[in-house]
A = this chain, B = another copy of it.
Amino acid sequence: MLLGKVVGTVVSTKKESTLDGSTFLLVRGMDLEGKDTSTLVVAVDAVGAGVGEVVLYASGSSARQTEVTKDRPVDATIMAIVDQLEVGGKLKYVK
């Protein structure tokens, strides 16, 4: 999984019918110092994440292993909201 921060939302009315009701969130990659990376993905939310939260998202076929995304054309799913990141014995991030 990759670390990211939810930075926004995508609205789409014309989409694959199996995606009706899905929430599309813009996720910016984040490094261990809390800085943005160049990575930008649109992920379906499976855990009730909101803008500003630090999350883990799964990519590829693994993104479809949730009830929300099963058998749907989804290749990125937020599947955890991060509470803490600990690196070298120090807390790098606390929600």
List residues of A whose CB falls within 8 A of some B CB.
Answer: 1-3, 7-16, 18-19, 24, 26, 31-32, 40-43, 46-48, 51, 56, 58-66, 71-77, 79-88, 92
Contacts and interface: CB of A to CB of B under 8 A. Distances in A.
Number of copies: 5
B63 A75 contact: yes
Nearest to A44: B1
A10 B82 contact: yes
Contacts of A75: 1, 58-60, 62-63
Given A8-B85, A64-B73, A66-B73, 4 more contacts: A10-B86, A12-B80, A18-B65, A26-B87
Contact of A65 (B31, B42, B64, B79): B64
Contacts of A2: 40-42
A79 B43 CA distance: 13
